[in-house]
């Protein structure tokens, strides 16, 4: 799964697209802060229970789900049959997960004593007990109005009639909202999905299509899918509705890409790489694509970025894009991520959520590997470089394999995606490409159509490599944190010796890391590599070289996930910035040169911005110029606006907009007048929000009224208004949101409500805004409901408390209740009786008083000492007087 939880800004959306490159979570990208340390888990974490896979008392062999959805009432009728065999003990009770299902009847081939239904489970009792090894079935009839797990998208909710559909989402524990089941990934079974829909609708599910016929009695189309090879419960999926498709084949595997009918023109952009990806993953993993077909389907307002149901991936409609965004939008990351899950996640599944990295870390790693294959190794290194900087800045010291969590959903984060992906990279670096491939193939074959835990992987690695990986797994998977390395270099001309000192500075509760890597010296055209092993807190390494190197690189191949501080002389940075063979070295040099202010450095960076062969270095040079902040550096940026690569062009526009100079307005106006790429126009509009003047407000207002693909330019104007934070914009923003609700994407509209609340929160009379936002708290779209409830919290009007209160409840992981709780906390926040400034002033006075007391005491002491000396000298004089020689 790629996660898209709690993201409601365009910036965050772009970050999530980037994060697909990093396999990470945009919501966390936004919160990147703190320092990297190997920290002990927080006290709360220690109090969190340890989680394990539940006991399997029966072996579930097949689940058959027969569903008839009613799109108008957003309800379903279902009949689910579960075939199973008790494993060891005679079975008296079978307990199944069933969330808010209205159970009508239960039947069984065995003799039923009865059944009881609770909100979250159904317990079926047998008398006599079913004996171990005796296969039997239970059939449960029910209806439901699912709040999660199965999501409707209908005209009553504001979606186009032409696009009406529903989709399901199983991971982590949502499946029981639409059918009763043993809902945990340590159980595998075959599944069948039968769905009854109006004749013009398409039905998609896992596996192969068995039949499609019309039921004469109801006039409904009955579509029957069968997933024969066993898979786990969270991968069972159903998508039904009005869809259009594009299709092709990879060898004998049918491939299709479905979108809601109104969006089919964009399908090809996202679909085109699929066959190439399957071929690549088959070669890399050594295992043929394991299922009968591969369908991808785009749905409206999906709950995540994508979800890898067995042979049926569901994707967010945010993955669709138009070609005029050049290379700024791509769905390649999310498409390859979900595709590789068909092996890592679906074919072999983590046994419990503490081993989630076996799914998500691998999907993140192979997504990146495909990126390198498709777009060049520098592309992959660039991603690793950026991800490492971000991961090592996180302060969460929990390990990747973590049993302490309250809910499974908490496991889906940067540790199991980005960090685990990087750890797999290190594993590959240590094993070498060929052995790594053999290990992964053996691991997948050994656990094919089964479940795995971390130790299963380690034992395969050790068996095939003949080496111990205890230390590697211990430091990277069973413990948290990342190394922080202070590296320094010096040269002795007399001894012809280079010295590299490495100090591990992370606070270590589990001892220093063991880190094999290398250092690289460039001696003119010659390259000298030396392997080093860092296995203690401090090391000095000496290297005899025939001449002084012009470049020194630590870990030149980016094989360590570490925060490295390495100060080298400026002349070396210049040489590094020019080294065409070393993209990462050039990135590091551009970043380090931002500390210099001189004209020579500005010239070097400007040259890199306009001439470096890799776009990432050009962007890094632009960022450095902005940080230098001199007139020359700003001028260099402005003169470099005309960039052929849209990625660099947008960076330059963004960076210029981030400088507060009056002339920036004219530069942004010129971008708006000339730029064709909508993503860069969006950047320029948002930048204008930093400048309070009638001219910018007029432009922002113009774009607020504009129409564009997905209303993106109007949304950018909302973003600018948020930055402006000017209450004068309230009436126009309110009018736009009211009049154009249907044109905004749900997330963007929700953010619009938040923006309105934010710019109105300091107003004395917030009645009108409160009433306007309150009009959306019962909206049929969950995203907008949540946005409205959150906005009431932001507005901070205590009169909203009774409204928000009605959404609070005891279910901490219900998204609406969670938003309501956060909003209530904000609404009930007490303003301190004494303002912060006064508290601060009091602290200063207290400090001063302490200082004064100290000084007074010192003065007293001095006085006493002087008095004592004076007294002593008098006595001495007297003594002297008396000691005069006779």
Q: Which is nearer to Zn ion, 341 or 447 (CB)?
A: 341
Q: Which is nearer to Zn ion, 335 or 568 (CB)?
A: 335
**DSSP-assigned letters across all residues of 569-628:** -HHHHHHHHH-TT-HHHHHHHHHHGGG--SHHHHHHHHHHHHH-SSHHHHHHHHHHHHHH
Q: How many CB atoms lie within 10 A of CB 400?
A: 24
User: CA dist 255 to 259, 261, 682, Å?
Assistant: 14, 18, 35
Strand order of the β-sheet with 208-214 is: 102-108, 136-144, 75-86, 58-70, 188-197, 221-232, 208-214
| Residues 545-604, interacting with Zn ion (CB under 5 A) | none
Least distance to Zn ion from the beta carbon of 189, Å? Answer: 22
Q: Which is nearer to Zn ion, 235 or 589 (CB)?
A: 235
Q: Which is nearer to Zn ion, 1 or 138 (CB)?
A: 1
Q: Which stretch binds Zn ion (CB under 5 A): 118-126, 322-330, 362-370, 497-505?
A: 362-370
Q: Which is nearer to Zn ion, 71 or 414 (CB)?
A: 414
Q: Which is nearer to Zn ion, 371 or 679 (CB)?
A: 371
Q: Which stretch binds Zn ion (CB under 5 A): 1-9, 47-55, 500-508, 793-801?
A: 1-9
> Which residue in the set 1, 63, 237, 277 belongs to the binding site for Zn ion (CB under 5 A)?
1
User: CA dist 599 to 450, 587, 632, 657, Å?
Assistant: 62, 20, 7, 22
Least distance to Zn ion from the beta carbon of 6, Å? Answer: 17
Q: Which is nearer to Zn ion, 358 or 684 (CB)?
A: 358
Q: Write the CB contacts of 306 (distance below 8 Å, at least 6 apart in sequence).
A: 1, 2, 313, 314, 315, 316, 319, 334, 335, 337, 338
Report which DSSP code applies to 122.
E
Q: Which is nearer to Zn ion, 345 or 787 (CB)?
A: 345
Strand order of the β-sheet with 526-534 is: 526-534, 515-523, 551-554
Q: What is the dihedral of CA 236, 238, 243, 247, to 10 degrees?
A: 30
Least distance to Zn ion from the beta carbon of 303, Å? Answer: 13
Least distance to Zn ion from the beta carbon of 308, Å? Answer: 6
Least distance to Zn ion from the beta carbon of 337, Å? Answer: 5
Q: Which is nearer to Zn ion, 313 or 402 (CB)?
A: 313
Q: Which is nearer to Zn ion, 378 or 383 (CB)?
A: 383
Least distance to Zn ion from the beta carbon of 2, Å? Answer: 5
Residues 140 and 181: their CA atoms lie apart, in Å, by: 10
Q: Which is nearer to Zn ion, 172 or 181 (CB)?
A: 172
Residues 515 and 519: their CA atoms lie apart, in Å, by: 13
Residue 227: phi and psi, rounded to 5, are -105, 100
Least distance to Zn ion from the beta carbon of 171, Å? Answer: 9
**DSSP-assigned letters across all residues of 777-792:** TT-SSHHHHHHHHHHH
Residue 535, token pair as written in the block: 């296995």
Least distance to Zn ion from the beta carbon of 235, Å? Answer: 12
Residues 314 and 333: their CA atoms lie apart, in Å, by: 14
Least distance to Zn ion from the beta carbon of 341, Å? Answer: 5
Is residue 7 within the footprint of Zn ion (CB under 5 A)?
no
Strand order of the β-sheet with 497-504 is: 538-544, 497-504, 484-492, 563-566
Residue 224, token pair as written in the block: 């029957």
Residues 195 and 78: their CA atoms lie apart, in Å, by: 9
Q: Integer distance in angstroms from the first to the last C-alpha of the chain?
A: 106
Least distance to Zn ion from the beta carbon of 233, Å? Answer: 17
| Residues 332-361, interacting with Zn ion (CB under 5 A) | 360
Count, residues near Zn ion per rule CB under 5 A: 3
Torsion 701-703-707-710 (CA) sign: negative
Task: Build a one-symbol-per-residue string for 185-224: x at contacts with Zn ion by CB under 5 A, - elsewhere.
Answer: ----------------------------------------
Q: Would you say 496 and 544 are in contact if contact means Cβ atoms under 8 Å apart?
A: yes
Q: Which is nearer to Zn ion, 284 or 675 (CB)?
A: 284
**Which of 392, 385, 361 lies closest to 32, judged by CA?**
392
> Which residue in the set 83, 236, 363, 791 belongs to the binding site for Zn ion (CB under 5 A)?
363
Least distance to Zn ion from the beta carbon of 424, Å? Answer: 14
Element housing 32 (H / E): none
Q: Would you say 351 and 278 are in contact if contact means Cβ atoms under 8 Å apart?
A: no
Residues 424 and 70: their CA atoms lie apart, in Å, by: 46
SS3 492: strand
Q: Which is nearer to Zn ion, 202 or 342 (CB)?
A: 342
Least distance to Zn ion from the beta carbon of 402, Å? Answer: 17
Least distance to Zn ion from the beta carbon of 292, Å? Answer: 22
Question: Interface with Zn ion by CB under 5 A: which residues?
Answer: 1, 360, 363
């Amino acid at each position: 799964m790629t996660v898209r939880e709690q993201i409601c800004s365009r910036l965050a959306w772009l970050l999530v697209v980037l994060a697909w490159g990093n396999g990470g979570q945009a919501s966390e990208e936004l919160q990147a802060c703190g320092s990297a340390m190997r920290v002990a888990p927080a006290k709360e974490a220690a109090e969190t229970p340890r989680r394990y896979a539940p006991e399997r008392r029966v072996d579930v062999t097949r689940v058959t789900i027969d569903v008839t959805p009613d799109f108008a009432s957003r309800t379903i009728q279902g009949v689910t049959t579960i075939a199973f065999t008790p494993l060891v003990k005679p079975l008296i009770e079978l307990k199944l997960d069933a969330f808010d299902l209205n159970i009508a009847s239960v039947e069984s081939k065995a003799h039923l004593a009865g059944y009881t239904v609770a909100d979250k489970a159904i317990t079926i009792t047998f008398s006599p007990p079913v004996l171990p090894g005796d296969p039997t079935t239970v059939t449960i009839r029910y209806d439901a109005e699912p709040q999660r797990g199965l999501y409707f998208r209908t005209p009553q909710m504001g979606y186009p009639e032409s696009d009406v559909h529903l989709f399901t989402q199983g991971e982590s524990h949502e499946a029981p909202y639409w059918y009763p089941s043993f809902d945990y990934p340590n159980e595998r079974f075959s599944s069948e999905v039968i769905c009854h829909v109006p004749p013009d609708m398409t039905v998609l599910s896992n596996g192969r299509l068995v039949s499609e016929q019309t039921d004469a009695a109801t006039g409904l189309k009955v579509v029957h899918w069968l997933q024969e090879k066993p898979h786990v419960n969270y991968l069972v999926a159903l998508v039904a509705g009005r869809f259009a498709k594009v299709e092709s084949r990879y060898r004998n595997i049918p491939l299709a890409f479905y979108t809601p009918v109104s969006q089919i023109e964009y399908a090809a952009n996202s679909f085109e790489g699929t066959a190439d990806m399957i071929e690549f993953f088959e070669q890399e993993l050594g295992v043929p694509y394991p299922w009968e077909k591969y369908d991808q389907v785009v749905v409206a307002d999906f709950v995540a970025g994508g979800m890898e149901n067995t042979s049926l991936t569901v994707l967010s409609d945010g993955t669709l894009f138009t070609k005029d965004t050049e290379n700024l939008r791509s769905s390649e990351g999310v498409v390859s991520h979900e595709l590789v899950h068909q092996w890592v996640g679906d074919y072999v599944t983590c046994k419990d959520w503490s081993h989630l990295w076996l799914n998500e870390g691998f999907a993140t790693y192979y997504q990146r590997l495909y990126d390198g294959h498709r777009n060049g190794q520098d592309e992959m290194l660039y991603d690793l470089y950026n991800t490492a900087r971000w991961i090592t800045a996180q302060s969460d010291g929990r390990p990747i394999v973590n049993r302490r969590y309250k809910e499974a959903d908490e496991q889906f984060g940067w540790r199991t995606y980005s960090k685990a992906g990087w750890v797999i990279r290190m594993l590959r670096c240590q094993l070498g490409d060929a052995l790594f491939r053999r290990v992964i193939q053996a691991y997948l074959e050994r656990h094919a159509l089964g479940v795995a835990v971390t130790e299963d992987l380690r034992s395969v690695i050790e068996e095939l490599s003949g080496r111990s990986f205890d230390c590697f797994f211990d430091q990277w998977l069973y413990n948290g944190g990342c190394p922080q390395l202070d590296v320094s270099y010096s040269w002795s001309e007399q001894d012809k010796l280079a010295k590299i000192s490495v100090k591990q500075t992370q606070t270590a509760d589990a001892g220093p890391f063991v880190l094999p890597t290398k250092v690289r010296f460039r001696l003119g055209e010659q390259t000298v590599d030396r392997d080093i092993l860092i296995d203690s807190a401090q090391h000095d390494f000496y290297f005899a070289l025939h001449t002084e190197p012009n470049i020194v690189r630590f870990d030149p191949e980016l094989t360590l996930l570490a925060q490295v501080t390495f100060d080298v002389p400026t002349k070396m940075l210049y040489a590094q910035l020019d080294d065409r063979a070393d993209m990462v070295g050039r990135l590091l040099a551009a970043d380090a040169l931002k500390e210099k202010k001189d004209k020579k450095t500005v010239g070097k960076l400007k040259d890199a911005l306009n001439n470096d062969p890799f776009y990432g270095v050009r962007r890094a040079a632009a960022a450095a110029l902005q940080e230098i902040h001199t007139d020359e550096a700003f001028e260099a940026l402005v003169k470099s606006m005309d960039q052929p690569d849209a990625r660099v062009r947008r960076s330059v526009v963004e960076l210029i907009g981030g400088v507060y100079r009056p002339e920036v307005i004219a530069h942004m106006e010129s971008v708006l007048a000339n730029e064709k790429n909508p993503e860069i126009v969006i950047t320029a509009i948002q930048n204008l929000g930093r400048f309070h003047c009638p001219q910018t407000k007029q432009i922002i207002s113009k774009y607020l009224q504009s129409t564009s693909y997905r209303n993106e330019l109007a949304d950018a104007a909302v973003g600018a208004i948020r930055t402006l934070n000017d209450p004068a914009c309230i009436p126009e923003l309110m009018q736009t949101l009211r009049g154009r609700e249907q044109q905004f994407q749900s997330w963007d509209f929700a953010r619009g409500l938040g923006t309105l609340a934010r710019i109105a929160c300091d107003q004395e009379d917030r009645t009108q805004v409160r009433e306007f936002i309150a009009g959306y708290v019962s909206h049929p779209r969950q995203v907008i409901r949540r946005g409205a409830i959150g906005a009431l919290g932001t507005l901070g009007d205590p009169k909203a408390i009774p409204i928000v209160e009605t959404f609070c409840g005891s279910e901490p992981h219900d998204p609406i209740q969670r938003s309501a709780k956060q909003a209530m906390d904000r609404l009930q926040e007490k303003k301190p009786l004494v303002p912060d400034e006064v508290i601060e002033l009091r602290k200063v006075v207290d400090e001063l008083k302490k200082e004064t007391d100290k000084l007074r005491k010192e003065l007293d002491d001095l006085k006493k000492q002087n008095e004592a000396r004076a007294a002593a000298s008098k006595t001495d004089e007297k003594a002297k007087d008396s000691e005069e020689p006779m």
